[in-house]
Structure 1
Amino acid sequence: MLDGKKRSNLKHGMSVAIVLKKDQDTGYLTDGIVRDILTKSPTHPHGIKVRLMSGEVGRVQEIY
């Protein structure tokens, strides 16, 4: 499984599971397709921030 903390692992159109800001306490994951990659740095300790096709924004926890 690819690491959601590395920007190089992500591409537009990939299926991912993200944690939304409101779900960070519970760890609830939201599935979706990557529309935009928002984090500019090559890595991030909490996961790369993306916008899904649905418009939701969160940090990548899993890549399918």
Structure 2
Amino acid sequence: MNGTSRSDIKKGLLVSIVLKQNQRNGTLTDGLVKDILTNSHNHPHGIKVRLENGEVGRVKVIHD
């Protein structure tokens, strides 16, 4: 799953996000979802989340 649908993302899920400062180089950061920040059902660049460690970014990969 690629993280563009809000219904696929739940609190506590392990995801890879791209931070704002890493959008150009595409470096991913792994972590557990603490909060879902995007209100819309879908977003073409990924749903914005806050991880347990406080980092905020858009979901690129949802891990099983």
| TM-score band, normalised by shorter chain | over 0.9
Identity across the alignment (%): 60
Q: CA RMSD in A?
A: 0.5
Corresponding residue for 1:56?
55
The 5 A counterparts of 1:1-64 are 2-64=1-63
Large movers: runs of 4+ above 2 Å: none
Give the conservation status (yes or no) of the 8 Å contact 1:3–1:9.
Answer: no
Structure 1: segments with no counterpart, 5+ residues: none
Residue 3 of structure 1 and its aligned partner are, at CA, apart by 3.0
**TM-score normalised by length of structure 1:** 0.97
Matched residue count:
63
Tell me the distance in 2 between the aligned counterparts of 1:22 and 1:3: 20
Structure 2: segments with no counterpart, 5+ residues: none
Tell me the distance in 1 between the aligned counterparts of 2:48 and 2:11: 13
